[in-house]
Amino acid sequence: MLGIIGWVVQPVINDTVYVGDTCPGTAVDSALLGVPSAYACADVMFLFDLTGSMSGELSYAQANAHAIMDSLRSSIPDVRFGVASHMDYPRAYNYCGYSATYGSSGDYPYRLDRPLTHDTASVRSAIYSLSIGYGSDGPESYARALWEMIHDTAIGWRTGCARFVIHWLDNIPHACDLNDPSRPYYANTGVSPGRDATAGTADDILWYPLLRELRMSGIRPIIMVSASYTTYLSWWRYWMSDTLANGIATIRGSGIARQIDSIVGATSLVIDSLWPMVREPTYRPWVTFTPPYYTGITLTPPEDTFSFNINFNVPSSTSPGLYTFHIDYYRDAIRVDTQLVNLWVFSCTTGWDDPTSVAERKENSLYVAGNVMNVPANYTVSVYSVDGKKLLELKSGKYDLKGMLKPGVYLGVAEGVRTVKFKVIVR
């Protein structure tokens, strides 16, 4: 919910709809964004490594799938689940200094088994239907599977909901840039050849850019390292640190439902960054925000509020009229609120804010004095609401607008000797 206060004239506020008006030049308003300390909705993908060493982990996940989903549903009012799996590429590669057979016949590097859905029975069925494959070398197609979490549009992530990938695994990924001695953890694990499965082409996947892309996409990985193979836990914790993927890496515990619920709940209190942005590129130069963003936030239950000064600077060449655009508010790349802006732009050079400024000497005998409008014989004045609806058409005569319109701001369009657009304030 956005609460808006102050403007050139008193705005009309309806939930997250902002209605105001300004002249070409600068105007300032402020917004308060309330951020609750619990998720209102979330999308959760279960991602399984199905290579041979993961048989025990798969059996455990299958036995606890119902409890995991029920626990998250009890904590988050609106949560959907989906299932994806991988083994490895069923072929041999010799690239970037690494040569090995990655997987066996029948293995695959990625598969979407169930898109996101509220139907937990179908998700549970998809998990039960998974079966263990083979694999060959140690590293697996983790880079490809996590890359697909961003790029597979069939998954169906929602725009305004938290996004989690719970990834069961026990090794490290194929990726040429993993062999970087400047990093605290490095190894030569070969190429991640992307969707075309061909090494050395444009869609090869690099590990560290992928971690940043996950973060920028608002997808938070939760890495469940097998309790039987903890060798690489410290590697995954480094990769999930707040300077890289900003995820979580842990050993899969015995109370998996409570463990996952606790991890997800803890993330709701921490925000990496919070910022507003005008959705339509055309209007972005019109608006600046102070501060431009907040970072490193730990929320205090049940809700914290964050203030933004919104500076509207309409170009001087802008024609009078109604301009509509959106201000989106993002929490860690997830859009959490939207403000519809209906902004009337008026030609204010003749001082239409002054009720005596439209005098007979300026526009023949067309004038506004308080709530009274005088329309001369050679003019017709149409009055429009802030959402563009024509409310009145006034011919020659004197009119008390207070008896015709509710208090507020309207657009007047006078057509006669010339066409004039001006602000009408009914008090």
**Per-10-residue mean pLDDT, the chain, length 427:** 26 37 59 86 97 94 93 95 98 98 97 98 97 96 98 96 96 98 97 98 98 95 93 96 90 88 92 94 92 94 90 79 87 88 65 38 64 86 83 92 86 82 78
State the Cα–Cα distance between residues 335 and 217, nearest whole angstrom: 11
- Range(s) of the domain holding residue 151: 41-268
Which SS3 state, helix, strand or coil, does residue 208 take? helix
Which SS3 state, helix, strand or coil, does residue 35 take? strand
The answer to whether residues 51 and 186 belong to one domain is yes
Residue 140: how many other CB atoms lie within 10 Å: 31
CB 329 within 8 A of CB 275: yes
Residue 205 is classified by DSSP as P
* Beta carbons within 8 Å of 109's beta carbon, 6+ residues apart: 86, 87, 88, 89, 103, 141, 144, 145, 197
Whether residue 356 is contained in a domain is answered as: no
Whether residue 206 is contained in a domain is answered as: yes
Whether residue 252 is contained in a domain is answered as: yes
Determine the Cα angle at 244 with ends 238 and 249, to 5°.
Answer: 45
The answer to whether residues 48 and 89 belong to one domain is yes
CATH number at residue 199: 3.40.50.410
* Beta carbons within 8 Å of 162's beta carbon, 6+ residues apart: 39, 41, 42, 43, 218, 220, 267, 268, 334
CB 399 within 8 A of CB 417: no
Whether residue 277 is contained in a domain is answered as: yes
How is residue 126 written in tokens? 């998809």
The answer to whether residues 242 and 281 belong to one domain is no
The answer to whether residues 306 and 372 belong to one domain is no
CATH number at residue 327: 2.60.40.10
The answer to whether residues 329 and 373 belong to one domain is no
State the Cα–Cα distance between residues 107 and 281, nearest whole angstrom: 44
The answer to whether residues 133 and 219 belong to one domain is yes
The answer to whether residues 11 and 57 belong to one domain is no
Q: Domain end: 294, 311, 345, which one?
A: 345
Q: What is the pLDDT of residue 25?
A: 55
Q: For the chain, what is the domain count? A: 3
The answer to whether residues 264 and 278 belong to one domain is no
The answer to whether residues 76 and 166 belong to one domain is yes
Q: Domain end: 212, 237, 268, which one?
A: 268
The answer to whether residues 140 and 259 belong to one domain is yes
Amino acid at residue number 226: S
The answer to whether residues 28 and 47 belong to one domain is no
Whether residue 191 is contained in a domain is answered as: yes
Give the strand order in the sheet containing 2-5: 2-5, 25-36, 303-314, 287-290
Whether residue 351 is contained in a domain is answered as: no
Whether residue 231 is contained in a domain is answered as: yes
Whether residue 202 is contained in a domain is answered as: yes
Given the DSSP bridges, would you call strands 270-278 and 294-298 parallel, antiparallel or unpaired? antiparallel
State the Cα–Cα distance between residues 203 and 163, nearest whole angstrom: 24
pTM of the full predicted structure?
A: 0.77
Q: Domain end: 218, 249, 268, which one?
A: 268
State the Cα–Cα distance between residues 250 and 51, nearest whole angstrom: 20
The answer to whether residues 50 and 135 belong to one domain is yes
